[in-house]
Each structure stands twice: as structure tokens, then as C-alpha cells.
Amino acid sequence: MLKNKILKNSYFDSATLMSITGKIANLLGSNRDVAVMMATDTNKELMQASGLLTAESAAAGPNDLVLAVRGRDEEHSEEILKEAEDLLLQKNKPQNKSTEVEVTTVEQAVAAVPESNFAVVSLPGAYAAREVKKLLQNDKHVLLFSDNVSIDDEIKLKDLAIERGLLMMGPDCGTAQINGVGLGFANQLRSGNIGIVAASGTGLQEVATLISNLGGGISQAFGTGGRDIKEQVGGRMMLACLDILDQDPATEKVVIVSKPPSAAVVDKVAERLKSFSKPVVTCFLGADRTQLQQRLPQLQIADNLADAALLAVGKESFPMPTIPTMKLQPEQKYIRGLYCGGTLAYESILLLKQQFSSVNSNIALTQQEILADSNQSVGHTIIDLGDDEFTRGKPHPMIEPQLRSERLLQEALDPETAVLLLDVELGYGSHSEAGQLLAEDIKQARCELQKNDRNVFFLVHICASYEDYQGYAATRQILEDAGAIVLETNAQAANLACSLVAK
């Protein structure tokens, strides 16, 4: 039975709301029967579309909080609503904070800490641009994690930043490594002479961690936000970051990572690289390399993220684990990928498409391969679980890995599944027990499979540096103990999946 409760004039930040949504979803046994959202027009539409909005909540305003729950019956729903409200009240209690200054605006923050030089902004998209403008006007570099910022705002903010000699990384920029500090979702990296510019979050993380793990090191790793390389934004921040790396005495080699830029942006980048003083490796995932190679014969072009790291460091290959022999049933024909990292999902689709004519996805390469229902796999399927449709009102799976658990079991028990492809990210921002939680899910799935004497290959790529605080080696061990095959790179995992199914 659906019930809503409105808490008038009660603002909570998105992380609090997502944390409570996750806890209530656990109580209900599903994340489809709960929403805890500020009643903005967009959120009300989302709740309406999910069948979670009652008539009375339609009148709620953007400063009101709506708790929406669908329990077994009225009593159950009331009980769960009370639980949600109690959790929110606990969050509202004054924390036992230190003597830290309490500030609520950019102006107060700038006055309180005049020596500040950087801002990390993850506010709701509708409000983010005006705060970033004030930060830039106060000479702060910005990492803008928020999405749903208009393209016009992005252009204006980037122009303002460039004019003032500042970084404006984003919107939708999840990661950067600046002067040795990991920002957003980031990793503990070896310091060194390789600089990175990336229009892709997990693309940056994959290349940076692999370089570090190969014994190389990172000078700077800039994120530009995914839209920077589209025609309208014109590669503004990518070009600005290339200028920085060209001048940086600590940088001796540069890697550029993105999905294929617009033709105009490729032109601008190619033109810039003609006078670039350092060797460059490009990884434009999915792009045709021929023209670019003709224009820039000295350019090292990588076809995938792992190759970009190998070219940057000057090494040949990554080690491969031993693959156990495992009997599959004749109907087990398909690969199912469940990804937290969007670029890793995209790279896997590209690699699978080299072997199979059809790879379905919520981020598929062609219209025909877009899944009719993203919750239902068809044939070979790769899912980006960090995509908007899965994360509206819910935490990103890197923060809350248990959001993947239900789907993992569903895919493992599908009689047509032969291989499950999974990524797990470690480092700053990622869950402190991401590896353990995934290992538990794999163990549970294998237990269910064994009841019917069935096997599935669980291929896991750990996207992390050997130095990340959660422990790379310990994470690998716990996953192998659970029955997973652990791969150093996403490309290895995708290629291995193809070979296991092709047999």
C-alpha cells in the first residue's frame, strides 16, 4: 500500500536522503518501493512515474521533503514511514562537532578561510552554477561534481575560469588528482611524470591507477566533465588543461582520455598537439584512429584504457591470472556486465562488439541495441548502473554497492548467463568495504547456482591503485576466495569474457 508523508520546510542534502533511501530499501527488500526526495518539480515527476506519489504530495514545494513508501499493507507502510522519519531526526541532531567554523554561504566561506584556493561542489544541479560563479569570482579553482547544469552555464563558467586562470572541471566531473591530492572519487597514486586530461571519470581512474600500478607516476590528472568534448563546449577545459601540462616542469608525458570528441574538437586538439612539447598518448574510446594518425604521425594512439597506460609507461602487458576450467550448460551463451563505472561499461561494449554483432545496454552504441527495459537483460548485455535512470534519488553504486546485489543474483540465475562481468572501485569516495560486499554477493549467487549444479564465470576487475586504503591485495584475495577471477584491467576482463563464451 502506497503512503506518503510530507515534512514541510525540511531541507536535507542528497547524501543524507540517499543514505536513508538505502536503509529503507533494505527494510522493504527492494529499492523500487521507496523514495525520499525534496519535492522539486523534477523529483515529483520521477516519483509520479515510479507510482510513488500520492495526490496530496503533488502540492508539496521544493523546500518540502516527501517520504514515499509502498509496504505490504497500511500498517507496514506507516511503520516504515515512522522509521524513515526517525532516521531523519537523528541526522538533524546537532553533531558533536569540533570548534570548526559554521558557514552556510560562499561569502562566509571565503571570509572564514581567505587562504582557500579550491572548491569541490556537489550541490543540486539547479543551484550549482550560481555558487560556482561566486567561487570563481573569488579566485577558487572548482571541481564541479553536480550534473543537470545547463550547457550555457557550463560555457559561461568555463570562460570565466579561463579568463581568471582557474580550473573549472565539470559539470559531471567525478574525479581529479591535483598537486598530489585526490578529489571526488579518486585513488592514492604514485607521484611521477605522467599527466592526464580526461573527459571521463572512470576512464581517468582506470588509466591513472594502471599507470601507478605499472610503476609509473602521475603529475596531474585533470577531469573536464563529459560534455567538454562536444561541439558546443568546444573542448575549452581540455585545451586549457593541455596548456597547463605543456608548461608543467613535472610533466614529461601526457595521456588524453575520452569518448570520441566532436570533429571540431578533434581538429582543435590535433592543431594544439602540433606545437606540444611533450609526447602524447590519446585514448578516444571507439574513435577511428586512421585520420588522427595521419595528421599526427608521432602520436601514440591507444585503442583501450589499459593500452593507454602501457604506452604511457612503456610496458608491454599486464599479468593474467590462471583461468579454471568450468563446465557450462549448452544454453549458457551470454555475457552480462554490471558496471559501476560508466566508461568501463562503455569500453566493454566496444570490446564485445568486436566479437559479437549485438551488445545490448542502457548505453548501447545503436538504437536497436538499447534495452526496452533496462532491468531485463537480452542476449549479451552490459549495464551502466551509474547511469541517471538508476541513480535518480538513489546513491551511486560506487557509494552503495548493495544496489547491484539484486541484479547480480538475477543475472547469475538466468539460465542463459555464462559470464558475469563486474567492476569494483576502491579509493577515496568508494565504499570502505566494496570488495567484501561484492564477494558476499558472488558467494551467495554461487551457492544458489550450486543447488542446481550450475556454474557461471564471475570476472571482476578491481579499478584501484595498489596503495588504495581499502587494500588492493586483500580485496583481490577475498574475491578469489569467493570464487571470482580477478583481472588487473577492464580490457582483460572484457576480452576474457569473449573468449569464454566463444568456446
Partner 1 sequence: MTQNKILEQTELNIINMGLELFKQETERQNIPTLQVNWRPPCGGDPELIRIIDAIRERG
Separation CA 9–CA 21 (nearest Å):
19
Minimum Å gap between C-beta 117 and partner 1 is 5
CA atoms within 13 A on the CB side of 171: 24
Q: Residue 345, class by beta-carbon neighbours within 10 Å (0-12 exposed, 13-18 middle, 19+ buried)?
A: buried
Q: Coil, strand, or helix at residue 350?
A: helix
Least distance in angstroms from the C-beta of 357 to partner 1: 41
Joined together, the cell numbers standing for residue 268 give: 582543435
Nearer to partner 1, 43 or 374 (CB): 43
Q: Which is nearer to partner 1, 243 or 267 (CB)?
A: 243
* Residue 391 Cβ vs partner 1, minimum distance, rounded to whole Å: 13
Contact assessment for residue 106 and residue 99, using Cβ atoms and an 8 Å cutoff:
no
Nearer to partner 1, 1 or 89 (CB): 89
Q: Which residues contact 320 (CB under 8 A, 6 or more apart)?
A: 487, 492, 496
Residue type (1 letter), 206: E
Residues in contact with partner 1 by CB under 8 A are 9, 11, 13-15, 38, 40, 61-63, 100-106, 108-110, 112-113, 115-124, 126-127, 130-131, 135, 140-141, 145-146, 162-167, 178-179, 181-184, 186, 220, 240, 243-244, 247-248, 399, 428-429, 469
Give the shortest CB-341-to-partner 1 separation in angstroms.
17
Three-state secondary-structure class, residue 261 = coil
Q: Are strands 181-184 and 175-178 parallel, antiparallel or unpaired?
A: antiparallel
Query: Cβ 400 to partner 1, closest distance in Å?
Result: 11
The least CB distance from residue 498 to partner 1, in Å, is: 36
Query: Can you list the alpha helix ranges (DSSP code H) found in 165-200?
Result: none
For 340-484, list the strands marked E by DSSP: 360-361, 381-384, 417-425, 457-463
Nearer to partner 1, 14 or 358 (CB): 14
Q: Which three cell numbers stand for residue 24?
A: 529503507
Closer Cβ to partner 1, 129 or 382, answer by number: 129
Is 19 strand, coil or helix?
A: helix
Choice between 399 and 439, CB closer to partner 1: 399
| Least distance CB 276 / partner 1 (angstroms) | 16
Q: Which is nearer to partner 1, 127 or 329 (CB)?
A: 127
